[in-house]
Structure 1
Amino acid sequence: MERRTFLRTAVVGAGAAVAFGGSLWREAFAYPALPGPSPYGPLQPADANGIMLPQGFTSRVIARSGQQVSGTNHTWHNAPDGGACFADGTGWIYVSNAEVGGGGGGVSAVKFSSTGAIVGAYSILSGTNSNCSGGATPWNTWLSCEEVSLGYVYETDPWGVNAAVRRPAMGRFKHEAAAADPDRKVIYMTEDEPDGCFYRFVPTTWGDLSSGTLQVLTESGGVLSWVNVPDPDGSPTATRKQVSTAKKFNGGEGCYYTAGKCYFTTKGDNRVWAYDAVNNTLAIVYDDNVSGAPLTGVDNITSARSGDLFVAEDGGNMEICVITPDDIVAPFLRVTGQSSSELCGVAFNPAGDRLYFSSQRGTTGTSSGGITYEVTGPFRTTA
């Protein structure tokens, strides 16, 4: 069997043919996405910011590492990484992690008016280590994750009013990203290790992350299950090594929950996965070993209102690629002249007509060269 044919039918989980009934089975059968024409059309020549975009889209620089955010007295952090947007009255707030070690990590926020004008910038977390990605909660907090051994999750306030709080019950491991599932009242988390796991945290009370149960996804005889992690503290035995049947993922990166599925990426094998929380099944949405696939170095991920997935590259061609609901993958934008950087922090504003992202090391190739951008244009609202 050819690899492409095999991958097109690669659904992991017990009784997949039974579980994926009707249209859901047809969707799973079409995985993984294959190269095709972008719904936004071909990329145009690079603009003044060095970004190649589809026709009708424009970019602007929001912030640069080591420089004050325009109109504010806040200096933007080095190595900007994961981010998210939060509604703020008629405007919104974009938060961004700092992937800096040695206690230099944290989170900064930029506040926008209803017209998109920058009206404020400030720090909401400092003194932490290698804050890589994270995730937004339904109660409007930002979970910032430390990508270090025995790293913590910090719950932060995008408005900077309430102090950030460390959440040890969510486990100590090399955290990458988090995604809240309000339907099952759990938070999924990825782990950036070659033999990393896929976790979920079940709070004792939804909306309060101070206590709860850490679980890991397991697979035994083709059956997927969630099993409690005996010691979420991760010492002396790492959390990923405490449950023998834990399913391993090669370098977990971004994750995002929408419409009953948690999509997450693994950089070691350049895959995008879909955990179907309704049917407890797992599918490969994208695999760059498929011939001609444009997306390499999968990293942060988000979803548009249309259901399109937007996946940022760590390396590759420095692209953000779109994966459509009808399983086409194509470049949405490409950043030129920054081959020593990575793209991250992809997030839409509440209206869905502005996309934010960062080039972590910018044109200099160093953490002090980070640049955070905004892209505005006619994003699809339906597929």
Structure 2
Amino acid sequence: MVTSLLERCVEPQENHGLPRPGLHRRSLLRTAVVGVSAAAFGGSLWRGAAHASPAQPGPGPYGALGAADAQGLQLPRGFTGRVIARSGQRVANSSYTWHSAPDGGACFVDGRGWIYVSNSEIDPAGGAGAVRFDSSGTVTGAYRILSDTRLNCAGGATPWQTWLSCEEISRGYVYETDPFGVRAAVRRDAMGRFKHEAAAADPVRRTVYLTEDESNGCLYRFTPTTWGDLSSGRLQVLTAGSAASGSFTWTDIPDPDGSPTATRSQVAGAKRFNGGEGCHYADDTVWFTTKGDNRVWQLNLLSATYELAYDDSLIGGGGAPLTGVDNVTGSASGDLYVAEDGGSMDICVITPGGVVAPFLRLQGQSGSEITGPAFSPDGSRLYFSSQRGTSGSASGGITYEVTGPFRT
């Protein structure tokens, strides 16, 4: 499995408008090993484990949260946090002023350390920026990678080391960007025009899953004509019944441009999801969240079935630990980390055993939301943002790093 996955990620490809980073083959293989490992093994504990019921509250793998630190950050014992960027202020060792309303994010390997990419959910002049770290975790620079786009909310990383930045507007676009800040971003029209939210690449089936932030939105997949080139391909929508679990199929979208008929209204039987948000792929499974009903969905690709991994309405006594579900990522252990838009300003962990518990909490930021959770390539650091910080405004965003003994 690992060998075939690596071959798929590093096979020679043409540039197709956004050249790949200038790394020699050995570097690409090293990158693929780090970048694909979570996808190859991160969900292994979930495979085939159709839960009798969605996740329920219980003791988290890291224990109870401690008292808030000077930054208002509550963490379990053994974990520490720091601020790496603030909206409107220059990032350390750079001339880049960190963007307002930081949103979806991801980490990428480079030859000296890693890069954290972050969207800017403002309109107009959204886009995305990046922070570069050396191998010790020191911030060494920051820069803009996408400009003059609108409400860039979430997105997703590709196996060929690009960032897909998604516009959360009616008939919005997906932009493929270069985390290394060298090459110009490219608009990917073939991926459809709708209210994009998140994207998750599947290197096994060579496709990209896309969520839609509408109350009657859909889940899509885009299969490029050539893996590694998103300039052309096939956009499809998930079709299924109305139940919370069952089987599904994929059906072609006749007009990905979405005009005059919206993409979500073109296919009879398209399954509706209430406010699609984060999306994460690992080990033949796609997890995605819907904020309108506070659910985490699990798409089992081997069996072509779907089910609920979490539903706050199924937790009795009003004790749901996770509300306002939003961005989601995963760790190499198979744990899911789900950020809250509001709620208690938590990032909650959902374990492969079906336990949901708070992992961290921000105090004094009730007018904000948590966005952009992403692990460093070695899995030892978690990055995320408070989109509006303590001020409650887009100009008050704060981006954090948490370091500690994460499960591997």
Q: Which secondary structure does the structure 2 equivalent of 1:240 belong to? A: helix
What CA distance in whole angstroms lies between the structure 2 residues aligned with 1:65 and 1:29?
41
What CA distance in whole angstroms lies between the structure 2 residues aligned with 1:375 and 1:310?
13
Query: Residue 120 of structure 1 is aligned with which of 132, 141, 146?
Result: 141
Corresponding position: 1:252 with 2:279: no
Contact 2:47 2:284 in 1 (8 A): no
Contact 1:155 1:167 in 2 (8 A): yes
Per the alignment, residue 53 of structure 1 pairs with 75
Per the alignment, residue 5 of structure 1 pairs with none
Corresponding position: 1:208 with 2:225: no
Task: Give 1:345's aligned amino acid.
Answer: G
Unaligned runs of 5+ in 1: 1-22
Q: Deviations over 1:249-283 (max 9, x none)?
A: 00000001001101000000000011111111101
Task: Give 2:177's aligned amino acid.
Answer: T
Per the alignment, residue 283 of structure 1 pairs with 307
Unaligned runs of 5+ in 2: 1-45
Q: Which secondary structure does the structure 2 equivalent of 1:356 belong to? A: strand
Per the alignment, residue 220 of structure 2 pairs with 199
Per the alignment, residue 160 of structure 1 pairs with 181
Per the alignment, residue 43 of structure 2 pairs with none
Q: Deviations over 1:314-349 (max 9, x none)?
A: 000000000000000000000000000000100000
Per the alignment, residue 57 of structure 2 pairs with 35
Corresponding position: 1:110 with 2:118: no
Per the alignment, residue 89 of structure 2 pairs with 67
What CA distance in whole angstroms lies between the structure 2 residues aligned with 1:42 and 1:341?
23
Contact 1:124 1:158 in 2 (8 A): yes
Per the alignment, residue 325 of structure 1 pairs with 352
Cα separation, partners in 2 of 1:71 and 1:130, compared to 1, 3 Å: same
Q: Which runs of 4+ in 1 moved over 6 A?
A: none
Task: Give 1:275's aligned amino acid.
Answer: L
Contact 1:30 1:327 in 2 (8 A): no
Contact 1:360 1:367 in 2 (8 A): yes
What CA distance in whole angstroms lies between the structure 2 residues aligned with 1:121 and 1:305?
27
Q: Which secondary structure does the structure 1 equivalent of 2:97 belong to? A: coil
Task: Give 1:349's aligned amino acid.
Answer: S
What CA distance in whole angstroms lies between the structure 1 residues aligned with 2:47 and 2:286?
15
Task: Give 2:181's aligned amino acid.
Answer: G
What CA distance in whole angstroms lies between the structure 2 residues aligned with 1:356 and 1:161?
23
Cα separation, partners in 2 of 1:202 and 1:40, compared to 1, 3 Å: same
Structure with the largest fraction of strand: 1
Contact 2:47 2:283 in 1 (8 A): no
Q: Deviations over 1:220-274 (max 9, x none)?
A: 5964110000000000000000001100000000001001101000000000011
Per the alignment, residue 238 of structure 1 pairs with 262
TM-fit CA distance, 1:29: 2.9
Instruction: Map 1:303-314; keep pairs closer than 5 Å.
Output: 303-314=330-341
Q: When the two structures are aligned, how many residues end up with a matched partner?
A: 358
Q: Which secondary structure does the structure 1 equivalent of 2:141 belong to? A: strand
Q: Which secondary structure does the structure 2 equivalent of 1:128 belong to? A: coil
What CA distance in whole angstroms lies between the structure 2 residues aligned with 1:220 and 1:30?
20
Task: Give 1:213's aligned amino acid.
Answer: R
Per the alignment, residue 150 of structure 1 pairs with 171
Task: Give 2:207's aligned amino acid.
Answer: V
**Identity, % of aligned pairs?**
68
Per the alignment, residue 363 of structure 2 pairs with 336
**C-alpha root-mean-square deviation of aligned residues, in Å?**
1.3
Contact 1:31 1:283 in 2 (8 A): no
Corresponding position: 1:353 with 2:375: no
Q: Which secondary structure does the structure 2 equivalent of 1:213 belong to? A: strand
TM-fit CA distance, 1:90: 4.0
